[in-house]
Amino acid sequence: MKEKIWLSPPHLSGLELGYIQSALDSNWVAPEGPNIHLFEQKLESYLGDNSYCVALQSGTSAIHLALIMLGVKRGDEVLCQSFTFSASANPIVYQGAIPVFIDSEPDSWNMCPDLLEEAINDRISKGKTIKAIIVVHLYGMPAKMDEISAIALKYNIPVIEDAAEALGSTYKGRMCGTLGDLGILSFNGNKIITTSGGGALICKTKKEKEYSTFLSTQARDSAPHFQHSEIGYNYRMSNISAGIGCGQMEVLKDHITARRQLNQLYREFFSTLEGIQIFSEPDSNYYSNHWLTAIVIDEQKLGFSREDVRLHLEKENIESRPLWKPMHLQPVFSDAPYYVGQVAENLFIKGLCLPSGSNLSSDDFLRIKESFLSLF
């Protein structure tokens, strides 16, 4: 069996070791220590736009804290993009709130502004309280933020940007994650950079950063004994993980360059194959990190279905994956209200993510190409 080609494996640079070593040498082996603050600083200077970052254990915990910061409580509703990973929506349920799912539009594959406004009006007419909007930049592609922000402003609903997949992507020259009221990032093993597992909350003010840090470290009041006036969480990133993150920040730009170059190679290859359409930036306002390269398969034209292609690649030990199954089709969310057309459902049926790692070799790429050609 040939060696497995993974969809999006971790890509370490070697620079991580120095930071981990210093954590061990200084005995900061805890969810506190210099690497955490340094990692936050590195993120803040990379993101710019007066962003204040809080390093956490996961992107999921960052979304949970964002909802808590916005006062989301039992019975409230949160509008969430349906076409996403379940982690975008699960924390809504942790809060006892109700997710309401919104379909995507075909250009960015992200939240459809028209359906968003329709949903807001309908929920309001039903007497519901909408506390937040969660918009996702899927596969690194920025959502239609101008339209979404204008609607959010009109109805005075805060926006949480799930930029878990979009570190380094920009919309009209501005970093994804800094465009909403709060943003989140993920550093899971498969993301554009990793801390082995981790995430960050991106705030607009120092005060929000301090408050969310406080919540993430068990909400301890300042007192010599342990005193608590609020429910806290154990969500802080460890100093070891943050060390991996510090090393990864030094190569983030290289990772983005590599993923974009790989996307370009796929683009050239598929331009010769009728029936395969590669997911592309709608116009120059959108700059994607191309975390994952995604294709849409026209079974009529290609002569093979998405599943035919996936299984064919799998036989050659090449990992690929169907696009996200929309949340409104998930058994666990079968009771949730939704406002959808056919966009996400169609993408789920026809779409496939291809190996996209920043460490994918040219030999790997050749194998992938040959595997596609051997379909015919």
Nearer to ligand PLP, 105 or 276 (CB): 105
Least Å distance, CB 101 to ligand PLP, is: 14
Buried b (16+ CB within 10 A) or exposed e, 76-93: bbbbbbbbbbebbbbbbe
Q: Long-range contact list for 27-35, CB < 8 A, 24+ apart?
A: 28/239, 29/238, 29/239, 29/240, 30/238, 30/239, 31/217, 31/234, 31/236, 31/237, 31/238, 31/239, 32/217, 32/236, 32/239, 33/239, 33/242, 34/239, 35/239, 35/240, 35/242, 35/243, 35/245, 35/246
Per-residue interface string for the shown chain with ligand PLP, residues 161-200, x marking contact by CB under 6 A:
-x-xx--------------------x-x----------x-
Instruction: Tell me if 211 contacts ligand PLP by CB under 6 A.
Output: no
Nearest to 162, CA basis, from 90, 241, 63? 63
In the list 10, 31, 33, 59, the residue contacting ligand PLP (rule: CB under 6 A) is 59
Closest C-alpha to 352, from 301, 314, 303, 300 = 314
Binding to ligand PLP by CB under 6 A, coded x per residue (else -) over 106-145, reads: ------------------------------x---------
Q: Does 104 bind ligand PLP (CB under 6 A)?
A: no
Smallest CA-to-CA distance from 343 within 89, 171, 111, 100 is with: 111
Question: Cβ-closest residue to ligand PLP?
Answer: 59
Residue range at the interface with ligand PLP (CB under 6 A); choices 13-21, 84-92, 152-160, 220-228: 84-92
Determine the interface stretch with ligand PLP among 82-90, 96-104, 325-333, 335-343 (rule: CB under 6 A): 82-90
Record the tokens describing residue 34, joined without a space. 């210099």
Q: Which is nearer to ligand PLP, 105 or 165 (CB)?
A: 165
Q: How many residues bind ligand PLP (CB under 6 A)?
A: 14
* 51 belongs to the binding site for ligand PLP (CB under 6 A): no
**Is 9 a binder of ligand PLP (CB under 6 A)?**
no
- The footprint of ligand PLP (CB under 6 A) covers 58-60, 84-85, 87-88, 136, 162, 164-165, 186, 188, 199
